[in-house]
Structure 1
Amino acid sequence: MLPDIEPMLARLKLRHFRLLTAIDDNGSLLRAAEAVGISQPGATKALQEIEDAIGHPLFVRTNRGLRANELGHCVVRYARLIQQDVSHLREEMLGILDGHGGRLAVGTIMGAVPLLTHHLTRLMDRNRAIRVELVEDTSASLLGLLDAGRLEIAICRTSVSARPEKYVDARIWEEELAVVANVRHPLASSSATLRDLAESTWIVYAANMPMRLYLEQEFKAQELRFPTSLVETTSAFATLALLQRNPDFVALLSTEVANVLSRTQTTTILPVRLPARSEPYYLVRSRSRALSPIAARFWTDVVANPGEHID
């Protein structure tokens, strides 16, 4: 059995986490000791302290040195995250001391990338030394990062969560959708319907994501079988690369992202009428955590001026 968290916290030190990642990087206790600036006997003792605190061995001793076992891989992964958090802590404190506000970790779904980048640019124009971490992912993944404290704010949808009450959200944008294809698509210069595209290969979000559900509902409403030839991705860059390479592929995107991609002059918005809008975007934060000063300023700015990114 694992010990309770309090004894673990009392016995594990930051130097232990440095040693764990050094062992994993070097595969040798001697080289790890040199990397963190301690003697080999000191490293041996520290590793024993770590394994005693956790109650299990973390490495397998082989002829080639030390190799993390399954539990060791887990502990090393969190050791890296802890060191990264300490680094972020220092960055944020430096920013506060310098009067610039520190660091902001923010996430977004693909469709809201243009909106987010506009507001981040405004923020960074006023706070030149701010450090920003930007994560693009699905709503479900972004909410998980909010829960874990890896992000302070996300633009996403809380409807995918089983417990939306855990979040504070503000409705900031009504998403409109467009069907996008290569400029050489057979229907690029003519009117089209979903029926015309039923046999196409579609680039879509994964099942149960709001935009995917919307597309499935549209096909069902028009009594059409949902396409079976699919590429699932949340990446705008992957979507663009696929559309550029395959003139017969189509993708359902927010009109903001569709307009950004069309500036490459390799994709175009097909004249397909989509009668309904998708679910709105929300600015979301964890209800259980207070925002840092820079995150609070960002939140206030986006809520007060949500549509300023539109030309």
Structure 2
Amino acid sequence: MTDFDSVDVVRKLTARLKMRHLQLLLRIRQHGSLTRVAEEMSTSQPAVTNALAEVESMFGAPLFDRSARGMSPTALGEVALARAQAMINDLGNLVRDMETVASGNAAHLHIGVIPFISGQMLSTAVQHTLPEGGGRLTLTIHEGTSDQLMQQLRDHTLDIAVGRPSTAVNIDQLEFEALYDQQPRLVAGRRLAAQLGRRRLNWRQLARLDWILGAPGTPIREQVSDIFLKAGVAPPAPIIESYATKLMGELIVSNDQAVSIVPADIADELVRIAGVAIVPYSFDWTLPPIALFTRRQGPQPEAVRMFARALRVACKQAPHIKEREAQY
């Protein structure tokens, strides 16, 4: 193992590293080929090769492995690429913040949320996020899986995220705070819900209905499958895979045989916005809690702290949270 002179590396990076070097690294990761990078940049391959050699000399070690299959990042390259993406995103954030101030607003937040989060609760939190000194807060809401959101939080695409911690989700460099647990509800059209409510729970009959579920591998889809397996029944194959809440509601009310299992707070919203009904069945449910995620390093902007505070208050005031607290 070679000696790593951190002082020398910092000196070189401070004096010589430029944004074009970071963009070059990201292009190489994207294409895996210096030839393709040269074509995209309308330059020669030797020029790209020399530029990469210049960057690697600053870091004091190779950032990419070369093979017949292309170029892939080394362990050091992965670290450099993660920081490069974050630095470029931060530059975009700087421009965004300048535009926000120029337009008379106080701050802009990029918030990531998984699909099955109560829109009413998020709306309440947003309405009560008031930047100090007045002004209006503007937001961009990004939806995705927990794993996607955690990566976007690490590379500074997001300022804060609401998702689920689990062993399958990489939370490196992140902090999380569990907010609440979700209970399951079976939802259907009103006629079907009334019919099911008059019968005892029959898993084989349920499996023959038209199911609308999220994508395979997501926590709720896995939990629904596990519920059926514990009952000794093969999990249903959904006729439609979607996490779009409004679409799910419309599909359920338009199909007399359609059902889904969703968190209680989402079921309540589907009752209100789409006219579905909740079937009074009870299920075992061991989903990871809904949690608030932030980056571990660096100070948190005031707007992030204010949103986090408002979301905590909104969670405590929501009916499903009171129901959970009453169970203890």
Q: Normalised by the size of structure 2, how large is the TM-score?
A: 0.65
Identical-residue share of aligned pairs (%):
17
- Partner Cα separation in structure 2 for residue 105 and residue 49 of structure 1: 38
Give the counterpart letter for 1:107 in structure 2.
Answer: G
- Partner Cα separation in structure 2 for residue 271 and residue 252 of structure 1: 12
Q: How many residues align?
A: 260
4+ residue runs over 6 A deviation: 81-85
Which of 247, 262, 269 pairs up with 1:253? Answer: 262
Distance of aligned partners of 1:211 and 1:180 in 2 relative to their CA distance in 1, 3 Å threshold: same
Q: Is the 8 A contact 1:203 1:239 kept in 2?
A: yes
Q: How does 1:60-209 map to 2 (within 5 A)?
A: 88-93=93-98, 95=100, 101-114=106-119, 115-123=121-129, 128-159=135-166, 161=168, 163-185=170-192, 187-188=194-195, 190-192=197-199, 193=201, 195=203, 196-209=205-218
Which of 278, 289, 308 pairs up with 2:287? Answer: 278
- Partner Cα separation in structure 2 for residue 286 and residue 51 of structure 1: 39
Q: Normalised by the size of structure 1, how large is the TM-score?
A: 0.68
Q: Hey, what does 1:38 align to over in structure 2?
A: none
Displacement after TM superposition at 1:266 (Å): 2.8
Q: Is the 8 A contact 1:181 1:249 kept in 2?
A: yes
Q: How does 1:8-87 map to 2 (within 5 A)?
A: 10=18, 12=20, 48=43, 52=47
Q: How does 1:228-247 map to 2 (within 5 A)?
A: 228-247=237-256
- Partner Cα separation in structure 2 for residue 134 and residue 166 of structure 1: 22
- Partner Cα separation in structure 2 for residue 86 and residue 100 of structure 1: 19
For the aligned residues, what is the CA RMSD? 4.1
Q: Is the 8 A contact 1:178 1:269 kept in 2?
A: yes
Q: Is the 8 A contact 1:119 1:309 kept in 2?
A: no
Query: Structure 2: any 5+ residue segments left out of the alignment?
Result: 1-12, 25-40, 52-85, 321-328
- Partner Cα separation in structure 2 for residue 261 and residue 140 of structure 1: 26
Displacement after TM superposition at 1:187 (Å): 4.4
Displacement after TM superposition at 1:185 (Å): 2.2
Query: Structure 1: any 5+ residue segments left out of the alignment?
Result: 1-5, 18-45, 57-80
- Partner Cα separation in structure 2 for residue 300 and residue 51 of structure 1: 53
- Partner Cα separation in structure 2 for residue 220 and residue 306 of structure 1: 32
Q: Is the 8 A contact 2:189 2:256 kept in 1?
A: yes
- Partner Cα separation in structure 1 for residue 48 and residue 302 of structure 2: 37
- Partner Cα separation in structure 2 for residue 50 and residue 124 of structure 1: 52
- Partner Cα separation in structure 1 for residue 311 and residue 169 of structure 2: 26
